[in-house]
Copies of this chain bind each other. A is one copy, B any other.
Amino acid sequence: MSIDLGVTGDFHVHLRDGKMMELIAPTVREGGVSIAYIMPNLVPPITTIDRVVQYKNELQALAPKTTFLMTLYLSKELTPELIHEAAKLKAIAGVKCYPAGVTTNSSAGVDPNDFSDFYPIFKALEEENLVLNLHGEKPSTDKDGEEIHVLNAEPEFLPALKKLHSDFPNLKIVLEHCTTKAAIDTINEINQDNKGPIKVAASITAHHLSLIVDNWAGNPINFCKPVAKLPQDRKALVAAATSGNPWFFFGSDSAPHPLHAKQVHVGVCAGVYTQALAIPYIAQVFDKQGKLDKLKGFVSDFGKQFYEIKEEDLVSKDHTILVRKEQQVPDVVSQGDLKVAPFKAGEKLDFSIEWKSIN
């Protein structure tokens, strides 16, 4: 058995910088992914054109056959002029919005209770047909009567998403790494009666198709933000990913951390590293549902359609071929002293990938 998945894309990727970048950037292709949409939450975050261009060049040198789509980090340092300039230079595909404090390197983020300071930026993005990528969680608070915690942080964010869409109906928005049935339902509702191009889409990770709260309780390797939720949420995510609805596509949110940052009794870093086996992880889930026929849409077609990626934007037109060939997930991925534990470390997967050269 083999399936030609065409030119695949992962529309939510953390490749970090420095030694971690050197270790991880090449694993995008190892995982069967051709196009990688790169997150800007370095330290400090990427907020200038110079820096995003430099970062892309560094990544390209490490992974010459991967097509990198770049983003800026939404913050007060961005201006509408900068967005227009970045669009003209084709330096970015979108801007990533992190609510302050919700995940790794998000301390420079924004207050999702009031986006109005950023409306000029959103207007510029809308005008340029660039994408707004939302980390859709409200920050935790125990303020009486409006308690936000890791389990309701995403549902409580959804009204802000709907308001943004209503205020900027032509702005392309992605609700990143959905984890709840509530989020899936909202994205379906928004798209239900839409006859035109998709304006509000959602990305879904590999790990959230497999995990629930029990899996990260006591297993920091599976701890990420947003946290994996309940069985009914996972079921809704799997149904959405395998639905063939083009407003759901793959974004791994693969987020490597050094192993020692996972092996601590306080302050475990949030993030699951899935990059090196991205497509096999997902194939496993689709196969279990008897939905391998829907895999190409999810990991290849729908993301490219939403981002309007053209043939000439690709640095390689190679196809990813999924083959039913067992492989074992390594316990760690490492280079020198740097070790990263991959998702499902030590477990067996039923699928592998091969590359088909297209010239």
Decide if A216 is an interface residue (CB 8 Å cutoff).
Answer: yes
A270 CA to B259 CA in the complex, in Å?
21
Known: A214-B140, A223-B217, A270-B218. A230 touches B265 (CB 8 A): no
Instruction: Please choose the segment from A78-86, A91-99, A147-155, A167-175 that sits at the chain B interface, where 4 or more of its residues have CB less than 8 A away.
Output: A147-155
Known: A218-B220, A220-B220, A223-B217. A149 touches B265 (CB 8 A): no
Known: A264-B263, A266-B219. A230 touches B341 (CB 8 A): no
Check B263–A147 contact: CB distance below 8 A: no
A231 CA to B341 CA in the complex, in Å?
32
A140 CA to B218 CA in the complex, in Å?
14
A231 CA to B220 CA in the complex, in Å?
22
Check B266–A217 contact: CB distance below 8 A: no
Known: A264-B263, A265-B259. A217 touches B221 (CB 8 A): no
Interface centre among A218, A232, A341 (most CB of B within 10 A): A218
A266 — which chain B residues lie within 8 A by C-beta? 219-221, 345
A172: min CB distance to chain B, Å? 31
Q: Among B147, B217, B265, B268, point to the contact of A150 (Cβ < 8 A).
A: B217
A100: min CB distance to chain B, Å? 15
Name the residue on B nearest A345 (C-beta): B266
Check A262–B265 contact: CB distance below 8 A: yes
A259 — which chain B residues lie within 8 A by C-beta? 265
A142 — which chain B residues lie within 8 A by C-beta? 212, 231
Decide if A278 is an interface residue (CB 8 Å cutoff).
Answer: no
Check A149–B212 contact: CB distance below 8 A: yes
Q: Which of A244-290 contact B (CB under 8 A)?
A: 259, 262-270
Please report A residues at the B interface, Cβ cutoff 8 Å. Answer: 140, 142, 147, 149-151, 212-214, 216-221, 223, 227, 230-232, 259, 262-270, 341, 345
Q: Which 6 A-B pairs have the closest CB atoms?
A: A147-B231, A262-B265, A218-B268, A221-B265, A220-B265, A219-B266
